[in-house]
Amino acid sequence: MDEHAAREAFEAGTDFTVGLEEEFAICDAQTLELAPRFEELRDAAAADPVLADSIAGELISSEIEIRSGRGETFQAALVAQRDRRRRLFALAAAHGVALGATGTHATSDYRDQQIIDTDHYRRLDRELRYVAWRNNTFSLHAHVGIRGVDRAVAVCDRMRGVLPTLLAVSANSPFIDGRDSGLHSGRTEIFTRVFPRCGVPDPFGDWRSFVSYVDFLKATNSITGYTQVWWSIRPAVAFGTVEVRICDAQTTAGESEALAGLIVACVAQAARDHDERVPMADLPGRLIEENLWRAIRYGMDGRLIDLPHAREMPAAGAVERLLEWTAPIRAELGVDPVSPRANGAQRQRRAIEAGAGPRDVFARAVQETRETYAAKEVVA
């Protein structure tokens, strides 16, 4: 990490700009099994300058990411992302592949997947071995601009206790390797709990403490670059943003946009609370971990802990608290996330309970994805 460049990126940054990143499974159009065709899609995208500049590879050749780029507002980021999605889905259809948007693929075996051929991912393959091979997962990331390095770290600290609720809202991965895992977010279990330097970080307090930790990792040959710190939230030093990385990919475009709006509102409200010196307790990681596990296991069907008061509440009640907390900044930014009555994991679980198998459940999800992400109008 170039500390000087990172500091400049944050000090010259603009509050509440937004960048969105959505990851999709590349599937055979007939069998819906994972298909290693990222390089083919990437090369074909070169004919479309907008698309070529917006797609990226993510570890395996059967995964593709679409990026909005920087939007000066949340609404601008959505406009850009919708355009890029339509281009991507048209390209996929032209090449006879389907795109899936769940946190894990329901049936494909991780042992059959290929690591993409780049220096970065070849190095991860050598260093992580099984940990990298096992990570066939798909997520939604949101970047929110925060001006100032100490403010960015403070926002990450304030967001720590919020992250399990965001995970519960996004839970969308009950299947692992063709089997019902019994979890709502299997993705989190096989990524966040397996990768090193992952999960909810400790509070750092200020930029100097954060940089000291990154310097320690580099000095001890623990990392070769900052991108090997895979926390569920982190200062994105290349962009001057706070990046929230805890959420599963969302099956429909409306769900993805509602979730992104909630993330943006939480980050922006945390920044506003910091500026107004609203008191905040640095919650111990061991307490946040209890809520993280509940979000993984039960998602929106479960109960989360009101940590300051040591009492349980329905997950839906925790989401209502987030909406109440972020109401001032949402009104200011014009963000009004509308989530479905049942999230992705809940819908999949209802189908399982009705007797559907993993292939049928995934096929329904792929159909929903195609019908909503490729559409000109997005309905929440």
Q: In this predicted model, which residue has the larger pLDDT, 2 or 268?
A: 268
**Predicted confidence band of residue 282 (pLDDT cuts 50, 70, 90):** confident
pLDDT, one tens digit per residue, over 175-195 is 999 999 999 999 999 998 899
pLDDT at 339: 81
| Percentage, residues of the chain above pLDDT 70 | 99
As a whole number, the mean pLDDT across the chain is 95
H helix or E strand, kind and range, residue 8: helix 3-11
CA 163 to chain centroid, in Å, comes to: 11
Note the maximum CA span of the chain.
57
pLDDT at residue number 340: 83
216, amino acid identity: F
Query: What residue ranges define each of the domains in the chain, with the CATH number in brackets?
Result: 3-373 (3.30.590.20)
What global pTM score does this model have? 0.96
Q: Give the pLDDT mean for 258-269.
A: 98
CA 364, chain centre distance (Å): 22
Structure confidence at residue 193 (pLDDT) = 86
pLDDT by residue (tens digit) across 192-232?
889 999 999 999 999 999 999 999 999 999 998 898 999 99
CA 255 distance to own-chain centroid: 13
Rounded-to-integer distance, Cα 91 and Cα 106, Å? 24
pLDDT over 90 at 120, yes or no: no
Portion of the chain with pLDDT greater than 90, in percent: 91
Given the structure tokens 């971990």, which residue do they identify? 289
pLDDT of 68-80, one tens digit each?
Answer: 999 999 999 999 9
Q: How high is the pLDDT of residue 373?
A: 96
pLDDT band, residue 380 (cuts 50/70/90) = low
Give CA–CA dist 68/195, Å, rounded: 26
Question: Tokens representing 279?
Answer: 């008191």
Q: In terms of Cα–Cα distance, which of 319, 189, 305 is closest to 263?
A: 319
Strand residue runs (E) in 170-306: 175-176, 179-180, 198-199, 230-231, 233-236, 241-248, 303-306
Per-residue pLDDT, averaged over 12-27, amounts to 97
List, for residues 293-315, the tens digit of each pLDDT value.
Answer: 999 999 999 999 999 999 999 99
> Are the C-beta atoms of residues 203 and 132 closer than 8 Å to each other?
no
- Tens digits of per-residue pLDDT, 24-43? 999 999 999 999 999 999 99
